[in-house]
Structure 1
Amino acid sequence: MPIPAFRASFPSLSNSHTIPYRAASTDRGRRRFLLGVPALAGALGLAPRSAFAQSWRGEGWSATWGCAPAGPPPAASTTSFSGQTVRMIVRASIGGNRIRVRLTNEMGNAPLTIGAAQVGLRASAQAVVAGSNHPLTFGGRTSVTIQPGSPLLSDPVYFQVAPFADLAISLYFPGTALGTTIHRDAWQTNYVSTSGNFAASSTFTISRSFASWPFLSEVDVDGGAPCVVAIGDSITDGQGSTANQNRRWPDYLARRLQSELGTAGRIGVVNRGIAGNRLLLDDPNALLAGRDVLERFDRDVLATPGIRAVIVAIGINDIVYASGTALGEMRDDLVAGYRQLIARAHARGIAILGATLPPMAGFVYYTAAREAVRQQVNSWLRSANEFDALIDWDGVLRDPSSPARIRPDYNSRDWLHPNDAGYGALANAVPLGELTSMVA
């Protein structure tokens, strides 16, 4: 679907439209968090090889920012960089005293060579605060080649990061790099230099700008904070929100946690939404919509440092892109998919929150048959009590006078995606007390 840019006023987080959620049984929660005890007891009986070898256990890394890589794009629309520096802007959700960056060539089919990499505090546009740039190394090396299909973690850097700091991550490509691994919809302007290595420079001449995140999937900080991952489609990715303002619902949630809970709200929030993404199937003709959630759940959720809980908001694209034949089985297929995610999260001791599917009457793919399936799925979500908590986002967004439609004041003009005010309302509906008890 084409993704237009929209503008809307910044909503007040105090204007809450919270809808009661449904919590699962506390007994099941206790069983879930005890899953790791036998393994831990066995590990304690093993003699450590050395204090140095075990020192990593106390590092306490937690993701402060993340996106979900996808691709490759069609050859005709693949971005390329040659002898240039790319500077990408991301916003931390929590702070720390050390930082590391995860790069990725997971969807690439050729080695990716990075000649230099730096991280600093963004001042404005492509400019970095003077003196804040720090070199990133990889096994002590300042340049590195990432093989196809692989991610790469940088070495830790001592770099004090404040909550909600804008970070500038600069990558210099000495040869030609094709943007085959990319998060398409950043809703954030990023910058490409003219020819040259400007990774360590506070500023550079801009050759062009773009609104994606290539080769970048995560930033971690130290300090042992818990982390919540949001996984879903374009509503989690932020379609319809104001660009360059960090007004996706996970952004609002991160700010709400710290403004309402103070130090207890030091919880990382990572956004793994992808526009066009589905729970059950990939679209081989639209690989920038990402692998389906069942496929990417282990990489994008379970492998996230510090994760304690995941919020799942997925399924509407499975419905709107389904054929008539597939639509008949869609309710049961989605339920089976949700149960897989619940089982896989619980097997790792991770709490999992679900969300009802949003209203869509007026959306270009709306039909009465698809609406019937959406209602069936929401009915199951509300009654089954299988997620650890359920957030009724359908109840948050729907127009009381026309429940199949989104409220006009929350509509970003396409009758599916919220605007900034709608995304703020979604964040306000997340039950903070329940969430913080899950991540504690």
Structure 2
Amino acid sequence: MVQVLVFLLLFAVAVFLFARQARQIRRNILLGRDANLTDHPGQRWRNVLLLALGQKKMFRKPLVAVLHLFVYTGFILINLEILEIVLDGLLGKHRLFVPLLGRLYPWLIGAFEVLAVLVIVGCAAFLLRRNVKKIPRLRSHDLDGWPRSDANTILITEIVLMTLFLTMNTADQVLQTRGLEHYAATGNFLVSGNFTAIFEGLSTGLLVAIERSAWWLHIIGVLAFLNYLPYSKHLHIILAFPNAYYADLNPKGTMENMPSVQHEVQLMMDPSLAAAAPAGDATPPKFGAKDVFDLTWKNLLDAYSCTECGRCSAACPANITGKKLSPRKIMMDTRDRLVAVGKNIHQHGSFQDDGKSLLRDYISEEALRACTTCNACVQECPVSINPLHIISQLRRHLVMEESSAPAEWNGMFSNIENNMAPWKFSPDDRDAWIHG
């Protein structure tokens, strides 16, 4: 009964803390502007199945994709086994599902054990890629400090959790042969059943201690992992699904125009359209975005969903040629600013001006101006993140609110305004080159 009460308290505290943090993340995301992304539900569910669940984009690099699939599938399916552990803890039972599943039980646990081994192999390979082989996109200065240690911490934690799972099962298999009432016979497990000789010479008391310690450490580790997720890039394990569903379905080259500005341009090109101007058409109070409040909620969901894998920056022509722009850093900086705003709101009840903004304090003008709007970052992201949308909104604020643009841009803007083309030729002279 004491163990049940301890487990109940531990489980309740873990769930409460995770739920509280999840509410804060949801509140932070909803600080963004509204965006209607509910059209074409069939295509959106297809994105969830192919991109989030099927990891379609990952398979552009098959070896890495297979290793990631090991870890991902293991995480999803082995957590089904957590259900039995939780029920055992709450009810004071041991392997509650044995009577319910009968002969299927050892096969099911055996499959989980195979996945556990694959998770260990996959995590070990990723640790080697990050710290020994030192893949360039995983050694970038974008990841200096917490992001780099976060990735390693998660990989090591996964290896420890899977090892505890296998240790628990191995000790359990030996205890079953000794006739203890608490350890009912389940049949041989596919992986741990081959390692029982390691524990055969140990006393029953020590074996019970090993099995129980592995059981407790495993579930405590899982609950700790649950509460670590909201502070980690691995929150994408959860958010990749809604982020794929709410992805922008427009063609990659389509830019988001502001209707009021678009109408002014159309009037400039064809003044006869003035008569067809919609009633109530007015200039919006703000152009572009300066802080996270000016971005859409989808932009903020993107920031929380970022896996920090660096595929966007590795494909970015500006980044490749040494410019300051890194799409990954754009997403990380947006998330950092959003977290700071969330803490401000939590502390004061509502946001109090802290003298900072996403533009300049987190993301520099130099980085924004380096973007070629080629959409390579959008194309490469495995979880449907759009760094370009954030870049374009921040750049729109610079140009239209602050009149801050390089001299070359201002010349182009002036030519478009006066000549309706980027070049310094009047419309009447545009075809003069053909003469002679």
Give the alignment's TM-score, normalised by structure 1: 0.25
Structure with the greater alpha carbon radius of gyration: 2
Q: Which has the higher contact order (CA 8 A, sep 6+)?
A: 1
Higher strand residue share: 1
Give the alignment's TM-score, normalised by structure 2: 0.25
